[in-house]
Structure 1
Amino acid sequence: MNAPASFESLAAWLDTHADALDADQSRASDVLPQLIRGHAAGVGVPEALGGAGGTIADAIDTVAAVAQRSLTAAFVLWGHRTFIEYVLQSDNETLRADTLPRLLDGRIAGATGLSNAMKYLSNIEPLQMHATRRADGFALSGGLPWITNLRREGFIAAAAFDHDDGSPPSIFAIPHDAPGVERSDDLDLIGLRASNTAALTVTGTVLDERHRITADARSWLLRVRPAFLGLQCGMSVGLARRALLATAQAGASSREPIHEESAALEAALAEQHVRLKQGVLDGTFFERPAALFELRIALVDIVTRALSLEVQATGGRGFLRNQSGVARRVREASFIPIVTPSLVQLKAQLAQQRAASVA
Structure 2
Amino acid sequence: MLDRSLREWLDERAAELDRSGERSHALLQKLAEANLFRIGIAPASGGSGGTLLDAIDAISAVARHSLTAAFMFWGHRTYIDILTQAPESALRDRLLPDLLAGRLAGATGLSNAMKFLSGLEELQVGGVLDGEGGWRLSGQLYWVTNLQTRGFQAVTVVQPDGGGEPFIASIGSGLTGVSRSDDLALMAMQGSATAALRFDDVALEQDGVIHPVARAFLPAVRPRFLGLQCGMALGLAERILDECRDRLSDGHVLRDEWQALTRRYRQIRSDIYAGVESQRFVQQPGELFHLRIGLVELAMSGIQLELMLTGGRAYLSPQGDGTARRWRECAFLPLVTPSVVQLKQQLARLPS
Category of TM-score, reference length = shorter chain = over 0.9
Matched, 1:344 2:341: yes
1:145-224 counterparts in 2 under 5 A?
Answer: 145-224=142-221
Matched, 1:21 2:17: yes
Q: Give the match's secondary structure for 1:203.
A: strand
Measured against aligned partners, the alpha-carbon deviations of 1:192-219 in whole angstroms (never above 9, x if no partner) come to 0000000001111111221111100011
Aligned residue among 79, 84, 89 for 2:85: 89
Q: Give the match's secondary structure for 1:162.
A: strand
Measured against aligned partners, the alpha-carbon deviations of 1:8-37 in whole angstroms (never above 9, x if no partner) come to 321111111111100112222221011111
Measured against aligned partners, the alpha-carbon deviations of 1:235-255 in whole angstroms (never above 9, x if no partner) come to 1111110111001111528x8
5+ residue gaps, structure 1, are: none
Query: 2 CA distance for matches of 1:93 and 1:165?
Result: 27
CA displacement at 1:301 relative to structure 2: 0.8
Count of residues paired in the alignment: 350
Does the CA-based 8 Å contact 1:92-1:210 persist in structure 2?
A: no
CA displacement at 1:284 relative to structure 2: 1.0
Query: 2 CA distance for matches of 1:166 and 1:94?
Result: 27
Measured against aligned partners, the alpha-carbon deviations of 1:105-150 in whole angstroms (never above 9, x if no partner) come to 0111111101100000000001000010112310011001110000
Quote the residue 1:243 is aligned against: 240
Q: Give the match's secondary structure for 1:173.
A: strand
The amino acid across from 1:319 in the alignment is Y
Query: 1 CA distance for matches of 2:306 and 2:43?
Result: 40
Query: 2 CA distance for matches of 1:341 and 1:7?
Result: 32
Quote the residue 2:226 is aligned against: 229
Q: Give the match's secondary structure for 2:22.
A: helix
Quote the residue 1:257 is aligned against: 253
- TM superposition outliers: structure 1 runs of 4+ over 2 Å: none
Matched, 1:267 2:286: no
Query: 2 CA distance for matches of 1:313 and 1:289?
Result: 36
CA displacement at 1:40 relative to structure 2: 1.4
Matched, 1:306 2:302: yes
CA displacement at 1:286 relative to structure 2: 0.3
Does the CA-based 8 Å contact 1:276-1:295 persist in structure 2?
A: yes
Quote the residue 2:75 is aligned against: 79
The amino acid across from 1:24 in the alignment is S
The amino acid across from 1:87 in the alignment is L
CA displacement at 1:165 relative to structure 2: 4.1
5+ residue gaps, structure 2, are: none
Does the CA-based 8 Å contact 1:22-1:328 persist in structure 2?
A: yes
Q: TM-score, normalised by structure 2?
A: 0.97
Query: 1 CA distance for matches of 2:3 and 2:100?
Result: 15
The amino acid across from 2:227 in the alignment is G
Does the CA-based 8 Å contact 1:169-1:215 persist in structure 2?
A: yes
Quote the residue 1:329 is aligned against: 326
Q: Give the match's secondary structure for 2:189.
A: coil
Q: Give the match's secondary structure for 1:96.
A: helix
Does the CA-based 8 Å contact 1:92-1:212 persist in structure 2?
A: no
Matched, 1:68 2:64: yes
Quote the residue 2:313 is aligned against: 317
Quote the residue 1:36 is aligned against: 32
Quote the residue 1:104 is aligned against: 100
CA displacement at 1:341 relative to structure 2: 0.6
Query: 2 CA distance for matches of 1:162 and 1:243?
Result: 42
Does the CA-based 8 Å contact 2:35-2:101 persist in structure 1?
A: no
Does the CA-based 8 Å contact 1:22-1:191 persist in structure 2?
A: yes
Does the CA-based 8 Å contact 1:243-1:307 persist in structure 2?
A: yes
Does the CA-based 8 Å contact 2:168-2:211 persist in structure 1?
A: yes
Q: Give the match's secondary structure for 1:159.
A: strand
CA displacement at 1:71 relative to structure 2: 0.4
CA displacement at 1:92 relative to structure 2: 4.0
